[in-house]
Amino acid sequence: MIEVKSSLNSLSEKADVKEGYMYMIDFTTLTSVTDLILILASMGIVFPYDHPNINQLGKFLNLNNPIPLPKAEPNLEDRIFKGE
């Protein structure tokens, strides 16, 4: 009998990463769809309420735990486009 344990919240081995660096995914090392799911879940992908495909994505969204959007400063658009 083979027992398989998997969790998105734990690593089976510690990665040898160095402080101050970023690392790209080496997709040639993926061996299963579960590996890809772990990568995607770790990215924290979110979609705003007005995303063009929100209705198609609805069945995949965690609608019980929405994340509030930060409130924009009143003149943020002016500051961005007028270079203030």
Name residue, tokens 């660096």: 21
- The reply to whether 71 falls in a domain is yes
- The reply to whether 7 falls in a domain is no
- The reply to whether 48 falls in a domain is yes
Handedness of CA 23, 25, 29, 30 (dihedral sign): positive
Name residue, tokens 């890809």: 36
Q: pLDDT tens, 18-58?
A: 999 999 999 999 999 999 999 999 999 999 999 999 999 99
Q: pLDDT tens, 1-20?
A: 444 444 555 556 788 999 99
Give the domain extent around 49: 27-81
Flag whether the pTM goes above 0.75.
Answer: no
Pair 58, 64: CB distance under 8 Å: no
Task: With CA atoms as reference, report the closest residue to 73 among 62, 64, 65, 84.
Answer: 84
- The reply to whether 56 falls in a domain is yes
Residues 6+ apart with CB under 8 A from 42: 8
- The reply to whether 21 falls in a domain is no
- The reply to whether 9 falls in a domain is no
- The reply to whether 20 falls in a domain is no
The total of structural domains in the chain comes to 1
